[in-house]
Amino acid sequence: ELKVEQNPLFLSMQEGKNYTIYCNYSTTSDRLYWYRQDPGKSLESLFVLLSNGAVKQEGRLMASLDTKARLSTLHITAAVHDLSATYFCAVDGYQGGGADGLTFGKGTHLIIQP
């Protein structure tokens, strides 16, 4: 059974600081996704990571994937209040050409304080 673990689950940080969220998963996969969820809202896709060493950046967020370590990171640079949300990583464990359902981590609830 595929397991996805995120840490930390809760994070309170100050504006302007840097921090990293970690996502470990239990089986071989090179398909990892990061989503953002605001309270009471839907999930918004942030990044799709499909190979070992993949790195993607959007604004103050940067995501990377190490398939050998089965680890993905989401790095926040110079945090601003608008980045306050819950961040989920999710893994597609399917090995074939199509896509499978996702297994999600528990989410990291991020609060950024002025």
Mark the segment that binds another protein (CB under 8 A) among 11-19, 41-49, 56-64, 77-85: 41-49
Q: Is 31 near another protein (CB under 8 A)?
A: yes
Q: Is 94 near another protein (CB under 8 A)?
A: yes
Indicate the SS3 state at residue 43: strand
DSSP letter at 103? E
Q: Which of 64, 67, 72, 103 contacts another protein by CB under 8 A?
A: 103
Structure tokens belonging to residue 27: 């089986």
Name the H helices within the chain: none
Q: Is 87 near another protein (CB under 8 A)?
A: no
Does residue 4 contact residue 89 with C-beta atoms inside 8 Å? yes
Q: Which of 11, 13, 50, 111 contacts another protein by CB under 8 A?
A: 50
Q: Is 72 near another protein (CB under 8 A)?
A: no
Task: State how beta strands 108-113 and 10-14 pair.
Answer: parallel
Q: Is 85 near another protein (CB under 8 A)?
A: no
Does residue 76 contact residue 60 with C-beta atoms inside 8 Å? yes
Contact residues toward another protein (CB under 8 A) are 31, 33, 35, 41-45, 48, 50, 88, 90, 92, 94, 97-107
